[in-house]
Structure formats: C-alpha cells, structure tokens
Amino acid sequence: MTSPTATEPLAFCARILRPGHDTLYLGFAFQHQAEMAVHSLRRQLTHTTHIPGTTIEYGSAPAGAEVIPPLPAGAAEIADAIDREDRDGDIGALFPDVFARLHAQLGYQDACDLHQAACAVLGLEDTPPNRGGAAAPVDGGAAETFEAKQCTAITALAAVIEDPQAGEFPQRRAALIDALGWLEAGMLCTPCLDGDCGQDGPQHTASAAARGRRARLKAAGLLP
C-alpha cells in the first residue's frame, strides 16, 4: 500500500476508538487504503496488547480533529518513530504502534523489511514486535510453519465472525463459528483456554485469543 504525498488530502480514515483515551484518526488519500488498514488492524487486535474495548472503524474524521498521516517509507524516519515510541511506558496505549501501522499500510512482509532496516539504523537487533504490533509468523520446521499458518487462518476467520456487519448474516456467521470450531480442534492449548498456562508460541497465542473470543461470543449469545 503506497503512502500519499504531502500534497494529497487525507479524506479517508481508520478510526481507532479507545475507551478512556483519545480517538485516533489514521488518514489516507484513498478509500481502499483506509478500508485495507481497518481490516488489517482489526486482525492484529486479536493477538496484540491494546486498551480493552478498542474498536476500529472506517470513516472520516470530524471537523477539527487531528488526522495522523501515513508513516513515511524511509528507514531513517521509521527509526525516529521507533525511538519515540520506546519512550512511552503505556504499552496498551501504543496500539497501533509503528509496526502495526506499517503492517496496515504495506502488508506484513514489506513492513518487516522496513522495520528491520529501521532497527539497523538504531543499532538494534530486529525482533518481531509483539507489544502493540502484529506477531510474526513462525519460521522453522514444516509442522511449525503449518501451525503458524493455521493460527493465521483462525485469526482471520475470527475477525470476520466478530465484524459488526456479520450480524446481518446470522446463518453465515453460524456456519463460520462451526468452521472455526473445527479449525481450532486439536490445536489449542487447554490450560491456555482455562487461563492457567502463559507460555509463548503460536499455539499459546492463538489459545489465549480464543479464550477471550469465546467469552465475547458467549456474552453475545452466539455460543452456548
């Protein structure tokens, strides 16, 4: 996803509503850029640290609101943004952090490449951001890679199920919930689902997210 130039108006926004904090308006020059950013950030919410109750919508900024422009595409500028971000102690309030925004603007791989270059400018070892940004896919053996892909599929499917528009299609959402159950079967960590684990890794991250998601779906009357 390309960034608009300084002369282009930012008429379209990804609105990030954070209970107890200011609403953020991430501006884009084109509608499809804002819509893609919203979808990306919603997916990232399922496996990131963020302010509880955060919601992300597509729309426009109200008159007088500060619109945050897209991040620049230069490693030096991104390095400056990372350096400023690291001085903020409120991890939840960082979402979307630099990496999450890059992911929403550029896609995962391009975001990783630019983030790595920026870390090199700072003299830092690049590690997949997991505070406010998206967790990285797991590299390694074939079984581990497939597990990471399965976790990604679960995250994407869950985002569709919890999308407010899904309420307009109850039969489809019910079918998606059944599909999610089959996809999760045999790969989630039972202690994580009970809140008694806390280990790291794709399976445990997905399991912790599943625990919160199931609670929300039960509260909404979508699960028994």
H or E stretch at 175: helix 170-184
pLDDT in tens, the chain (224 residues): 444 444 457 889 999 999 988 899 999 988 888 888 888 898 888 777 888 889 999 888 888 889 999 999 899 999 998 888 766 555 667 788 898 899 888 888 888 888 889 988 888 765 545 434 444 433 334 444 566 677 777 778 888 888 888 888 888 888 888 888 777 766 677 777 777 776 766 667 777 777 887 888 888 887 77
Helices (DSSP H) in 2-55: which residue ranges? 31-45
**Amino acid identity, residue 119?**
C
> What DSSP character marks residue 96?
S
Can you give the pLDDT at residue 90? 58
Q: Which residue has the tokens 């997905």?
A: 206
Distance (Å, whole) CA 55 – CA 10: 21
Distance (Å, whole) CA 28 – CA 5: 10
Where in the chain are the domains?
75-122, 142-219
Assign 58 to helix, strand or coil: strand
How far, CA to CA in Å, does 143 sit from each of 138, 139, 194, 206? 10, 10, 25, 16
pLDDT in tens, 63-107: 888 999 999 989 999 999 888 876 655 566 778 889 889 988 888
Assign 189 to helix, strand or coil: coil
Assign 28 to helix, strand or coil: strand
Joined tokens for residue 176: 């998606």
> What DSSP character marks residue 164?
G
Distance (Å, whole) CA 191 – CA 88: 32
Assign 221 to helix, strand or coil: coil
Task: Write the CB contacts of 144 (distance below 8 Å, at least 6 apart in sequence).
Answer: 138, 202
Distance (Å, whole) CA 170 – CA 152: 24
**Amino acid identity, residue 64?**
G
